Amino acid sequence: MSARPVLSLLLAALVLLFSACGKSASDQAAASGDLVVRIGSAAPLTGPLAHMGKDNENGTRMAIDDANAKGIVIGGKKVHFELISEDDQADPKTATIVAQKLVDEKVNGIIGHLNSGTTIPAAKIYSDNGIPQISPSATAVAYTNQGFKTAFRVMANDAQQGDVLGAYAVKNLGAKRIAVIDDRTAYGQGLADEFIKAATAAGGEIVAHEYTSDKSVDFTAVLTAVKGKQPDLLFYGGMDAQGGPMARQIKALALNVKYMMGDGGHTPEFIKLAGDAALGVYASLPGVPLDKMPGGKAFSERFVAKYQPIQLYAPYCYDAVNVMIAAMQKADSAEPARYLPMLAGISYDGITAKIQFDAKGDLKGGTVTLYQVQKGQWQPLETVGAQ
Amino acid sequence: MEIFLQQIINGLVQGSVYALVALGYTMVYGILGLINFAHGEVVMTGAMLALSALTALIGWGVSPLLALPVSLMLAMAGCMALGYGIERIAYRPLRHAPRLAPLITAIGVSIVLQNLAMMIWGREYHAFPQLIINRPHLIFGAIINDIQIIIVVMAIGLMAGLMVVVHRTRLGRAMRAVAENQHAAQLMGVDVNRVISITFMIGSALAAVAGLMVSANYGLAHYYMGFLLGLKAFTAAVLGGIGNLRGAMLGGLLLGLIESLGAGYIGDITGGFMGSQYQDVFAFLVLIAVLVFRPSGLLGERLAERA
């Protein structure tokens, strides 16, 4: 028994030692006269979307490593960029806690969040504290509609995406009776609503609108209800973790429909989860295909060599960081209040596109590309929108 | 009509899985008066073990028809060891402690298992390999496919087997005796510890089968799949009357049907006011209703006796 106090003392000492080590990196940098700039990254690192969250974190990290290697100077000081990555679990409640934590850690800017449902509530906290936020992937219209001066995104929003998807479903795929399922998240619901608007405008009829959740695995009851309405196309507003298994269940129920998703479905993970039911599935992704991006091919090669195949948003995260740094350089300051006006008016040639923001913080002239699964891969069909 | 029939089939398939898992809860409760909240995690472990074994075996070029039963056996063996371990470590030392203590260790074990699985298998969804050609069959316009038929048949077979074990064998008699009165059974020469261990192992083996079924049916497995499934199976056990084996089977099937018919028709019934996203709510509405109006469950008397 007498060993216990000794053990806990030892443990406490170890903990102290480690926390001291953790600090020393930035302390050293500060001591040698470098300016430390903290960039926060928020994405789900656990749960069903962990593969996407990790992808975002890696994209952000690569941009930060590159910036550090370049030896950028701001305000006459050499800058050391530091990544502070947080897990928001794709959960809106957790996202606000994480946002407050990042604010308390005095980050100079935020790359995130990944989901629209988490980005929207977190945006208020960043706005209240005047910290610029660039979401690489939140596409819900509501995000930039809140009127926050600090909120930006480097991807076309769901109004643009829903427009393209709805019109394509009716005009190109000849869908007449359309069923819609969404996962009741800010993203899924928003995209489904935009899709419905566009599909109806193009002359399609919505015969069913059913719902599921972003944690479900069983869609047979919902799909059976949909089947009763005899649709010829099914649109799912949601992410790959549900969309993939849903594709399998569509096939198992012999539901004879064309199946379509938004950007949330456009991942290698979707093809893995859907198995042979993935063949012929449609999805959209804002922006042009990776190999058509100005710096897409080189980025992809470097990224794959360093981490793993790109899931989805890594190139957008890379651009988001670089846009932020470019604004800091232009303002010659990493102070949020100083570089924010520069960010709002920036024009930057990124690897995904030329990045300029409109008054709301949305990407100017965003494009959307449609894809289909062919031979186990997402193949681009056509790109819509001016670029 | 075929849509209604289809919902019934969906419900039966889902219900058979609930029933298998519910048996694990109810057996342990019947004997120990303890709710083994780690049982859902045993199901998850079964699915993950089976998936790993399957992937490895297929990788070595074993034919799928052989790999499937072998990996099922491995998963069952692994889960039996796990069930034994859980009982030995988390419940046996607390057998005479107040009832709340083992309940808390149960939740602790559940969290530990979930996190272990997350460390071993990662956080992402794992796709289940498609081994057999899953042919759909048409019954009066409704579809049932091979995997679903296998699930229902296997579940019924296993449940029948369990009934035979409990009611026709020496071991079953010992189990029933321990459930009746531990001390009296011990005085009659029944090795109580052994019977309890075996109960946990049988329940865990069934959980492994259920885990494989769920992941084969939905085509995926992940580290927290056991949580919701466990809660629903627990609901099924309470619905049927916890501690009662027939009750668990009935409760499981009923819950599956309630969920699938509920999710399928709630939109039409409420005129679109409530939609199919409430699918998971039904199970817990049933739980509340049962606890309020018939706490002993449909077939159970035991809970009232023991409380």
Tell me B128's DSSP state: P
Closest-CA residue to A281 (of A209, A371, A199, A198): A371
Residue A11 within a domain: no
CB-defined contacts A:B, below 8 A: 103
Burial degree of B175 (CB within 10 A; 0-12, 13-18, 19+): buried
| CATH at A274 | 3.40.50.2300
Q: What are B171's two structure tokens?
A: 């071991």
Comparing CB atoms, the residue among A48, A215, A217 nearest residue B218 is A217
Q: Whole-angstrom Cα distance, residue B217 to residue B134?
A: 10
Chain A hits for B145, CB-CB cut-off 8 Å, are 252
Tens-digit pLDDT profile for residues B82-125 = 999 999 999 999 988 998 899 999 999 999 999 999 889 987 78
**Burial class of residue A215 (count of CB atoms within 10 Å of its CB; 0-12, 13-18, 19+):** middle
pLDDT in tens, A166-200: 999 999 999 999 999 999 999 999 999 999 999 99
Could you tell me the CATH number of the domain that includes residue B117? 1.10.3470
Helix axes B225-240, B100-121, angle to 10 degrees: 150
Strands B136-139, B142-145: pairing is antiparallel
Parent domain of B197: 2-128+138-293
Residue B303 located in a structural domain: no
A47, A225, A275 member nearest B123 (Cβ): A47
Would you say residue B299 lies in a domain?
no
Q: Is residue A315 part of a domain?
A: yes
- Could you give the CA distance from residue A91 to residue A144 in angstroms, rounded to a whole number? 19
Nearest residue, CB atoms, B127 vs list A217, A224, A273: A273
Tally the domains of chain A: 2
Q: How confident is the model at residue A294 (pLDDT cuts 50, 70, 90)?
A: confident
Per the structure, the complete domain to which residue A173 belongs is given by: 159-286+368-385
Q: Is residue A325 part of a domain?
A: yes
The single residue listed with the structure tokens 């009066």 is B140
- Please give the tally of structural domains in chain B: 1
Contacts A248 to B, Cβ<8 Å = 218-219
Q: Is the pTM of this model over 0.80?
A: yes
Across the interface, whether the CB atoms of A241 and B125 are under 8 A apart is answered yes
Q: Which residues of B touch A211 (CB under 8 A)?
A: 275-277
Q: What is the pLDDT of residue A26?
A: 47
Reported as half-sphere exposure (CB side, CA atoms, 13 A), residue B197 has a value of 11
A151 and A88 assigned to the same domain:
yes
The verdict on A33 and A149 lying in the same domain is yes
Q: Are residues A256 and A376 in the same domain?
A: yes
Q: What residues are paired with A82 via a beta bridge?
A: A38
- Looking at the fold, whether A244 and A373 belong to one and the same domain comes out as yes
DSSP-assigned beta bridge partners for residue A235: A180, A260
Cα B202 to its chain centre, rounded Å, is 12
DSSP A157: -
Tens digit of each residue's pLDDT (9 = 90 or more) over A332-354 = 999 999 999 999 999 999 998 88
DSSP letter, residue B219: T
Q: Which of A125, A78, A63, A124 is CA-nearest to residue A100? A: A125
**Pair A86, A99 in one domain:** yes
Residue-by-residue pLDDT tens, chain B, 307 positions: 788 999 999 999 999 999 999 999 999 998 988 899 999 999 999 999 999 999 999 889 888 889 999 999 999 999 999 999 999 999 999 988 998 899 999 999 999 999 999 889 987 788 888 777 778 888 888 888 888 999 999 999 999 999 999 999 999 999 999 998 999 999 999 999 999 999 999 999 999 999 999 998 888 898 889 999 999 999 999 999 988 899 999 999 999 999 999 888 887 787 777 777 788 888 888 889 998 998 888 887 654 344 3
Please tell me whether residue A340 adopts helix, strand or coil conformation. Answer: helix
Which residues are CB-neighbours of A250 under 8 A, at least 6 positions away? A223, A234, A257, A259, A277
In the stretch 40-99 of chain A, residues with CB closer than 8 A to chain B read: 45-48, 50-51
